[in-house]
Amino acid sequence: MNQKTLSGVLLDEQVELSLSELSYACCSSAEWIIELVDEGGLEVISHKRHKSQNTPWRFSADSLLKAQTARRLQRDLNINLAGVVLVLDLLQQIEQLESELSILKNTNI
């Protein structure tokens, strides 16, 4: 019998991560996460809810997946941070287009 082991991350969309939790989960420094935010690769959600600059940064569960992908792109393909952000944007666009195509196929248009 051929068995395969699957691995993955189960995330609740309501989960929010702190800067330190996100950097720990990505095996990266907080400075790297901040650089990724500065380049536009990640969005801080706490600033939307609270106007105060003293509010600690919070990230959505989706940010964890993006940051892990960004880390792999840098590590495996040696892409600089600006290139990583471009790839993340293109991957998101592809995902959106695939979703729209699936909807169109299911509606037989």
From CA 41, how far away is CA 44, in angstroms rounded?
10
| Number of residues that this document lists for the chain | 109
Per-residue pLDDT tens for 31-90?
999 999 999 999 998 655 555 566 789 999 899 999 999 999 999 999 999 999 999 999
Rounded to two decimals, what is the model's pTM? 0.75
CB atoms under 10 Å from CB of 23, counted, come to 19
From CA 2, how far away is CA 52, in angstroms rounded?
55
Domain that holds residue 62: 17-107
Helices (H) and strands (E) in the chain, counts: 5, 2
89 falls within a domain: yes
CATH number, domain at 86? 1.10.1660.10
101 falls within a domain: yes
From CA 70, how far away is CA 60, in angstroms rounded?
15
5 falls within a domain: no
